[in-house]
Amino acid sequence: MTEKQGRTHPRPPKVTGLPHLFEAAGYSVAGARRLWRETAFRHIVAAFLACLMLFTFLGASGQEIALLFVLFFCLVATEALNTAIESIVDHLAPDWQVFARDAKDLGSLATMCLLAANAVFIVAVLARLLALIMKDNL
């Protein structure tokens, strides 16, 4: 454990009402900054933007684009939880431990399941759009 990880700080006082909303938003922004340091997350964002441009260019419906956003945000949430699990496990078990491996593997599985769900949806939409384009060109 590093010196920085070993330091403890007093718990800040509980905030309620509207200030709590602003603090919660600040925590979310800090989480997004932390997640941005993960290469996998940057790949997810790049793939989402590429798919969004492709869907728009090919004429995907509003519902298809909305579902792309929903699946993307579900994937981001899962990747954030996976990263949180990895951070906690790395802190609790700096050496190899079975529980650490299992926790990381399960977090990875959750992310992979949502990646697969995104891929199935994207392929289905692209197949539909390309079939329409080919039909129109006949």
State the binding site for substrate.
Answer: 79, 108
Binding site for a divalent metal cation, residues? Answer: 38, 86
Binding site, residues? Answer: 27, 38, 79, 86, 104-105, 108
DSSP state letters, 64-87: HHHHHHHHHHHHHHHHHHHHHHHH
Categorise residue 59: left if φ over 0, alpha if ψ from -120 to 50, beta otherwise: left
Between the alpha carbon of residue 60 and those of residues 63, 83, 88, 124, the distances in Å are 8, 32, 40, 11
Task: State the catalytic residue, choosing from 3, 23, 64, 79.
Answer: 79
**Amino acid present at 110:** A
Binding site for ATP, residues? Answer: 27, 38, 86, 104-105
Residue 23 catalytic?
no
> Which residues are catalytic, by number?
79
